[in-house]
A and B are shown apart, each in its own frame.
Chain A
């Protein structure tokens, strides 16, 4: 592999930025639809959206939706009164009226015939259950990540979206960001030579069992509907501390952990780089504070929290036999050779979900698979869950992606699924 390290200081960044500005604005993606239509959109052609679980992250993604001219949001749902009010205000301001309806119980929203698609940003506890309920109700779904709580939910998600033929987009928007897409293109088109090692930032690797804290007085339903908040999670009394839906039962109730935080982004990108949207690594082992995994094709996957170049959050690094590339949320690159970066295209730092939302809406119209479709999300999540299980058991585990079972490992196999609280089911 070329040892030259490129892009490690601002001078180099400046150089590549200059090069990027010289390049034509080459699109990083094959257009999802290329239907070639633009301009104003007739009301009858607009996609009607309902938004479910609209806290901070939900409102950010909803904002991306509201910018699209062919979309109209008409209703919001949240178990928290303050979130409902804020989201309604946001939608009403966009629509120029006061008509946005609000719900506490998502089943009422899903029962409406006028809703084409839903945004689900409830928090990971609800994601898979709500997404599959929506699909069965005939809605297309944009669902924030992590989308599932365990391996069984991941497979069920893919299965149900296939059966219902609904469109699913996981909120892994980095699949639609030009810098990550370009790095993936380098990996997939052999520009780095045969792939050897993929590196993903998991955003934490600890695992723990979720539990039950001392009871506190439960607020009125209008303020917090605790029963709906708990949803499919096992029962426990109201505690304010557990009201952070963004983290509640993240990574699965049994082995909740950080691996699903950024792992559902970074491992997902590694999956795509390895052309592994339909499989997952076959071995997982905790090694000195990292998680090492291996795909059946011999490519190694390393989940590590440190040792990254200063390229922003959610970094990934792809190493092949002849070159490597690393990129992160600041949209900069480091690579083994400048020539790898010549056609890298426009720089879009941060993590705007606009492109990802657009891809979803296009696929709602064409019925094509989205970039982060349910199958791709399923396998990326399985990789993360299997890693979490190895970390929880603190030993190596072997996974068979064809049978979807850990090989000769009863304990690991029992961690693949978890009962949902009544009456919920997937």
Chain B
């Protein structure tokens, strides 16, 4: 039973902490020496801060020998919590006795602390004293005692708590109810179901906070097992939302096929707004008996329930759900269609793929469109021939679906099909769809696509030309680069601009495409149009920054060579970013020059701190100090100043 199994998990810690003396102690002689030293600290005039940490260490190394020096600390407001860390952990009865003895000496918070530690250790010998504390005038003390009794459990504790429930002040009642529920769980863990049920029912009827009622209701349902179904259904029908909530939770927890069946029957009896909630709870039961109920709901009304059922089929469905889902996906309702498509995409199983594939050749209209989409989303590559044949369908929606699917599962040969289709259509929408698919295949299939894409780069239609260039840019490599460079030199202005943009963002396959760097440098230094120069300059600086084959010195040299072309602050900042990552003496030198320009001084200072913080060949510690000192004095940015000072202090 769930409640029983779970209960034992938590308490095993409590048991084994207290009983760990039975386990094998590692290296006990060494631990004994350690303990002796730690005890000596506690007995000395050491400051409390040292004694505090000593207590913590005794939690690991302490034995019963430590208890006499720890026990007096229970009355020390500042050290009591530290002492209890050790006392809770030290195995054996001495710690139990020390905590029990403290109950008659302590008051208020310190007393509560000692009671809490007894609860953790589950000291059965403390029950009588704790029972007396139930009547304590101090509500936190009485409450702590009640919860401690719950943790310890047993008949005596349960009897005391039950008796108290009716007589303790309102402020303590919640804790007493908590104690009762804990006791009930202890009974269940020992197969004493009747006693557990009795305790749960007592709390259900008591004048306690509602949360305790809810816990008791849950316990009462689960403890009764199948016999708890009527109480569960009572909650599901309750006007009170909280009781409905506890019903929904226990509907997930209470095991058994007969419970599933009873809840399925109840589904039809509930008000429409509650049915989706119960259906979700049923679905969480991991019981295959739920599936017919979900099937039925997926075909029924109202819509909310239907959508809920369709979504549940993602988890529970199989090939048998396909007809139901296809029906929903082809209905004239966007919400239903979306839900059904999502489920159909994720429904597991190769038999689902086979079923969908078998339906595709005969399908027409909306069903055909849906099946084509699914072939893509589910990556049913065997559907490719049928999908390709749909590229020329008279229905634009089917053509679009086919293009999308080919974008996902198509190969390089389909690049040719898409290029042909692209050349035939003037519809901007269709062109956009085909472009996406082309880019996707190009990315996937690489250089094999190039022969099919070249015709686009020769098109007089500038839009097609640009699509071709973009697809080539994704492919990358020297052939693609040649086409892009050719467009820069000879194409019409719009395509030329696009080609420069593509080159300046040339995918960072550097240094494989090192020719891109050369082309960018040429453009940066000699392009006729200023925007082309700027784009190329940015691309080139990015190229330098990302090129792992270039040494730091060579990177700095390249920036230096280009310095006369780097005029605007934007590009200077980019150059500083390159220099900041190229830790070297030459980078520091160049940054020092750039720091004299107010527009980029702060970026330069920040980069200087970054470099000066590193041990660099050719830069002495004195030089690094000097750089950091300069930054600390001149920078106006508090963060940079602080970093400079911190780095400087680390160098001293």
Q: Interface on A for B, CB 8 Å cutoff?
A: 9-11, 14-16, 18-19, 21-24, 26-27, 30-31, 33-37, 136-138, 151-152, 155-156, 158-159, 162-165, 189, 209, 211-214, 234-236, 253-254, 338, 342-343, 365-369, 403-405, 408-411, 413-425
Q: Provide the residues of chain A in CB contact with B421, threshold 8 Å.
A: none
- Report yes or no: A413 in contact with B314, Cβ–Cβ below 8 A: no
Q: Provide the residues of chain A in CB contact with B377, threshold 8 Å.
A: 23-24, 26, 343
Q: Provide the residues of chain A in CB contact with B79, threshold 8 Å.
A: 235
- The residue on B at minimum CB distance from A408 is B24
- Report yes or no: B284 in contact with A22, Cβ–Cβ below 8 A: no
- Report yes or no: B147 in contact with A425, Cβ–Cβ below 8 A: yes
CA distance A11 to B447 in the complex (A): 14
CA distance A415 to B117 in the complex (A): 16
Take A165-B214, A234-B85 as given contacts and tell me if A368 and B304 are in contact as well, using a CB distance cutoff of 8 Å. no
- Report yes or no: A420 in contact with B116, Cβ–Cβ below 8 A: yes
In the assembled complex, how far is the CB of residue A363 from the closest CB belonging to chain B, in whole angstroms?
A: 10
- Report yes or no: A26 in contact with B342, Cβ–Cβ below 8 A: yes
- Report yes or no: A35 in contact with B508, Cβ–Cβ below 8 A: no
Take A36-B303, A165-B218 as given contacts and tell me if A155 and B444 are in contact as well, using a CB distance cutoff of 8 Å. no
Contact of A31 among B91, B117, B311, B440 (CB under 8 A): B311
B residues 293-331 touching A (CB-CB < 8 Å): 303-304, 307-308, 310-312, 314-315
Take A30-B311, A36-B308, A420-B116 as given contacts and tell me if A413 and B23 are in contact as well, using a CB distance cutoff of 8 Å. yes
- Which has the most chain B C-beta neighbours within 10 Å: A138, A214, A410, A422? A422
- Report yes or no: B13 in contact with A416, Cβ–Cβ below 8 A: yes
Q: Provide the residues of chain A in CB contact with B119, threshold 8 Å.
A: 425
Question: Does B559 lie at the interface of the complex (its beta carbon under 8 Å from any beta carbon of A)?
Answer: no
- The residue on A at minimum CB distance from B341 is A24
- Report yes or no: A138 in contact with B211, Cβ–Cβ below 8 A: yes
Type the 1/0 row for B40-78, where 1 means its CB is closer than 8 Å to any CB of A: 000000001100110011011000000000000000011
Q: Provide the residues of chain B in CB contact with A425, threshold 8 Å.
A: 116, 119, 144, 147
CA distance A424 to B119 in the complex (A): 12
Question: Does B6 lie at the interface of the complex (its beta carbon under 8 Å from any beta carbon of A)?
Answer: yes
B residues 7-24 touching A (CB-CB < 8 Å): 7, 9-10, 12-14, 16-17, 20-21, 23-24
- Report yes or no: A11 in contact with B444, Cβ–Cβ below 8 A: no
CA distance A413 to B281 in the complex (A): 38
Prevailing SS type, chain B contact patch: helix
In the assembled complex, how far is the CB of residue A164 from the closest CB belonging to chain B, in whole angstroms?
A: 6
Contacts A26-B346, A410-B20, A423-B140 supplied; 6 other A-B pairs, CB < 8 Å: A10-B546, A14-B443, A254-B59, A342-B408, A367-B248, A417-B17
Question: Does B521 lie at the interface of the complex (its beta carbon under 8 Å from any beta carbon of A)?
Answer: no
Contact of A422 among B10, B113, B437 (CB under 8 A): B113
Q: List 30 A-B contacts (CB under 8 A).
A: A9-B509, A11-B476, A15-B443, A15-B444, A16-B443, A19-B440, A19-B443, A21-B440, A23-B377, A26-B377, A34-B308, A34-B312, A35-B304, A35-B308, A138-B209, A152-B13, A152-B17, A159-B7, A159-B9, A164-B211, A164-B214, A211-B53, A234-B81, A234-B85, A235-B78, A368-B252, A408-B23, A410-B20, A417-B89, A422-B116
A-B contact count (CB 8 A): 255
Contact of B88 among A30, A213, A419 (CB under 8 A): A419
- Which has the most chain B C-beta neighbours within 10 Å: A156, A234, A413, A421? A234
- Report yes or no: B209 in contact with A413, Cβ–Cβ below 8 A: no
B residues 365-401 touching A (CB-CB < 8 Å): 373, 376-377, 379
- Report yes or no: B339 in contact with A34, Cβ–Cβ below 8 A: yes
CA distance A366 to B250 in the complex (A): 12
Contact of A209 among B7, B56, B284 (CB under 8 A): B56
- Report yes or no: A369 in contact with B284, Cβ–Cβ below 8 A: yes
Q: Provide the residues of chain B in CB contact with A155, threshold 8 Å.
A: 9-10, 13
- The residue on A at minimum CB distance from B116 is A425
Contact of B215 among A21, A26, A165, A420 (CB under 8 A): A165
The 9 closest A-B pairs by CB, nearest first: A422-B113, A34-B311, A15-B443, A138-B211, A11-B507, A421-B81, A36-B307, A10-B508, A419-B84
Question: What range describes how many residues of B lie at the interface?
Answer: 35 or more
Q: Provide the residues of chain A in CB contact with B315, threshold 8 Å.
A: 30
Question: Does B613 lie at the interface of the complex (its beta carbon under 8 Å from any beta carbon of A)?
Answer: no
- Report yes or no: A423 in contact with B144, Cβ–Cβ below 8 A: yes
Question: Does B181 lie at the interface of the complex (its beta carbon under 8 Å from any beta carbon of A)?
Answer: yes
Contact of B277 among A211, A212, A366 (CB under 8 A): A366
- Report yes or no: B117 in contact with A419, Cβ–Cβ below 8 A: yes
Q: Provide the residues of chain A in CB contact with B245, threshold 8 Å.
A: 165, 367
CA distance A16 to B9 in the complex (A): 45
- Report yes or no: B408 in contact with A22, Cβ–Cβ below 8 A: yes
Q: Provide the residues of chain A in CB contact with B248, threshold 8 Å.
A: 366-368
- Report yes or no: A414 in contact with B507, Cβ–Cβ below 8 A: no
Q: Interface on B for A, CB 8 Å cutoff?
A: 3, 6-7, 9-10, 12-14, 16-17, 20-21, 23-26, 31, 48-49, 52-53, 56-57, 59-60, 77-82, 84-85, 87-89, 91, 109-110, 112-114, 116-117, 119-120, 140, 144, 147, 174, 178, 181, 185, 209-211, 214-215, 218-219, 242, 245-246, 248-250, 252, 276-277, 280-281, 284, 303-304, 307-308, 310-312, 314-315, 335, 339, 341-342, 345-346, 348, 373, 376-377, 379, 404, 407-408, 436-437, 439-440, 443-444, 474, 476, 507-509, 546
- Report yes or no: A163 in contact with B53, Cβ–Cβ below 8 A: no
In the assembled complex, how far is the CB of residue A317 from the closest CB belonging to chain B, in whole angstroms?
A: 22
Q: Provide the residues of chain A in CB contact with B250, threshold 8 Å.
A: 165
Contact of B112 among A163, A409, A423 (CB under 8 A): A423
Q: Provide the residues of chain A in CB contact with B444, threshold 8 Å.
A: 15, 19, 338
CA distance A410 to B246 in the complex (A): 40
In the assembled complex, how far is the CB of residue A183 from the closest CB belonging to chain B, in whole angstroms?
A: 16
- Report yes or no: B507 in contact with A14, Cβ–Cβ below 8 A: yes
- Report yes or no: B80 in contact with A162, Cβ–Cβ below 8 A: no
In the assembled complex, how far is the CB of residue A236 from the closest CB belonging to chain B, in whole angstroms?
A: 7
Q: Provide the residues of chain A in CB contact with B252, threshold 8 Å.
A: 367-369
Q: Provide the residues of chain A in CB contact with B246, threshold 8 Å.
A: 165, 367
Take A138-B214, A423-B112 as given contacts and tell me if A30 and B16 are in contact as well, using a CB distance cutoff of 8 Å. no
- Report yes or no: A421 in contact with B113, Cβ–Cβ below 8 A: yes
- Report yes or no: B345 in contact with A26, Cβ–Cβ below 8 A: yes
- The residue on B at minimum CB distance from A185 is B346
CA distance A338 to B181 in the complex (A): 54
Take A14-B474, A35-B276, A234-B85 as given contacts and tell me if A23 and B408 are in contact as well, using a CB distance cutoff of 8 Å. yes
- Report yes or no: A209 in contact with B53, Cβ–Cβ below 8 A: yes
Q: Provide the residues of chain A in CB contact with B25, threshold 8 Å.
A: 410-411
- Report yes or no: A163 in contact with B140, Cβ–Cβ below 8 A: no
Q: Provide the residues of chain B in CB contact with A211, threshold 8 Å.
A: 49, 52-53
In the assembled complex, how far is the CB of residue A35 from the closest CB belonging to chain B, in whole angstroms?
A: 5
Q: Provide the residues of chain B in CB contact with A34, threshold 8 Å.
A: 276, 280, 307-308, 310-312, 339
CA distance A419 to B78 in the complex (A): 14
Q: Provide the residues of chain B in CB contact with A24, threshold 8 Å.
A: 341, 345, 373, 376-377, 404
- Report yes or no: A422 in contact with B81, Cβ–Cβ below 8 A: yes
Q: Provide the residues of chain A in CB contact with B376, threshold 8 Å.
A: 24
- Report yes or no: A22 in contact with B436, Cβ–Cβ below 8 A: yes
- Report yes or no: B52 in contact with A236, Cβ–Cβ below 8 A: yes
- Report yes or no: B440 in contact with A22, Cβ–Cβ below 8 A: yes
Q: Provide the residues of chain A in CB contact with B345, threshold 8 Å.
A: 24, 26
Take A15-B444, A420-B116 as given contacts and tell me if A235 and B82 are in contact as well, using a CB distance cutoff of 8 Å. yes
Q: Provide the residues of chain A in CB contact with B82, threshold 8 Å.
A: 234-235
CA distance A418 to B81 in the complex (A): 10
Q: Provide the residues of chain B in CB contact with A21, threshold 8 Å.
A: 436, 440
- Report yes or no: A418 in contact with B20, Cβ–Cβ below 8 A: no
CA distance A27 to B338 in the complex (A): 11
- The residue on B at minimum CB distance from A162 is B6
Contact of B281 among A138, A163, A367 (CB under 8 A): A367
Q: Provide the residues of chain B in CB contact with A235, threshold 8 Å.
A: 52, 77-82
In the assembled complex, how far is the CB of residue A334 from the closest CB belonging to chain B, in whole angstroms?
A: 15
Contact of A10 among B242, B436, B507 (CB under 8 A): B507
Take A137-B211, A156-B10 as given contacts and tell me if A11 and B508 are in contact as well, using a CB distance cutoff of 8 Å. yes
Contact of A36 among B57, B78, B335 (CB under 8 A): B335
- Report yes or no: B17 in contact with A414, Cβ–Cβ below 8 A: yes
